[in-house]
Amino acid sequence: MTPQAFFDQLWYSYVEITPQADQIRDLFLATDAEVINDHVAFRTFADSPIALDNLEPFVLAMGYQVQADYDFEEKKLRARSFIHSDSTVPKIFISELQTHKLSPKLQAVLGKYIAQIKAEPTDHSVFWSGRHWQTPSLEDYQSVAAESEYGAWLLTIGLCVNHFTVSVEQLNSTNSLQEVLDRVKAAGFATNLAGGEIKGSPAELLEQGSSMADKQEFVFVGGEKQLIPTCFYEFAKRYPDNNGNLYQGFIAASADKIFESTFTAA
């Protein structure tokens, strides 16, 4: 699959559960001829057929190479970023919940769902395949959320693109991340304030911000209904290093707070 076809399909599946994405993108298309995507991100379960290492071959097959590895100890996540040989192609960030680091109670709860994942992926469609397990119970969802909001999100939403990212430095209307976030708020969308509205700094060569996730009604297996977070839109501004090359990496401390864009308690 070509990167263009891959990202086209991702966008289609993304806006289905993230209607704010189309609206926010339209905000900037009203002033900019093009809104360029910096990167996308995915979430999955470690120690499962759809673990990061089993997804990686499909990323590499599109011309990507491994960029860097990350460890989020508090959230019990492992992640890896990928960069394409063509610098105009968006980067990819995949994280996974290290279930073996969770409490025994939570390992048991999630284990019965992970056991339903039948086989390793065979093609790129795994990236928009959603849940590979039965609809969870409200009790299980609440138990997981109490210890891992990331895990609760994954339990209900499954494997899909978690966010797209506006490349702020490539906008024509503004090069200020704060102005971008102000426009998003003026349009009625909440922004992620965890760790500050803007995460990172020019000195770190990367500034990031995001909307808070959209919400949709979810029907649990017992028939209970509850609003749950789906996906969000990120905004990233990259700065050139001392050699004039635009920074292409990620800042772990900032990414840690971006994860909280799907937190129900935020």
Strand positions, DSSP E, 130-214: 161-167, 199-201, 206-210
Antiparallel, parallel or unpaired: β 64-72 and 206-210 = unpaired
What's residue 265's pLDDT?
57
**What is the count of structural domains for the chain?**
1
Phi, psi of 214 (to 5 degrees): -60, 165
Chain segment 46-91, per-residue pLDDT in tens: 999 999 999 999 999 999 999 999 999 999 999 999 999 998 999 9
What's residue 266's pLDDT?
47
Chain segment 239-266, per-residue pLDDT in tens: 999 999 999 999 999 999 999 999 985 4
| DSSP string for residues in 207-237 | EEEEBPPPEEEEE-TTS-EEEEE--EEEEEE
CATH code at position 98: 3.10.180.50
What's residue 264's pLDDT?
80
In whole angstroms, what is the distance from residue 92 CA to residue 170 CA? 18
pTM: 0.95
Alpha carbon distances (Å) from 103 to 47, 49, 111, 119, 260: 15, 21, 12, 26, 21
Segment (H or E) for 65: strand 64-72
Which range of residues forms the domain containing residue 162?
3-262
In whole angstroms, what is the distance from residue 44 CA to residue 56 CA? 12
Q: How large is the average pLDDT for residues 192-198? A: 95
Angle at 42 between CA 39 and CA 44, to 5 degrees: 160
Chain segment 208-249, per-residue pLDDT in tens: 999 999 999 999 999 999 999 999 999 999 999 999 999 999
In whole angstroms, what is the distance from residue 38 CA to residue 247 CA? 12
Q: How large is the average pLDDT for residues 130-150? A: 96
Please count the other Cβ atoms lying within 10 Å of the Cβ belonging to residue 184. Answer: 23
pLDDT at 162 over 80: yes
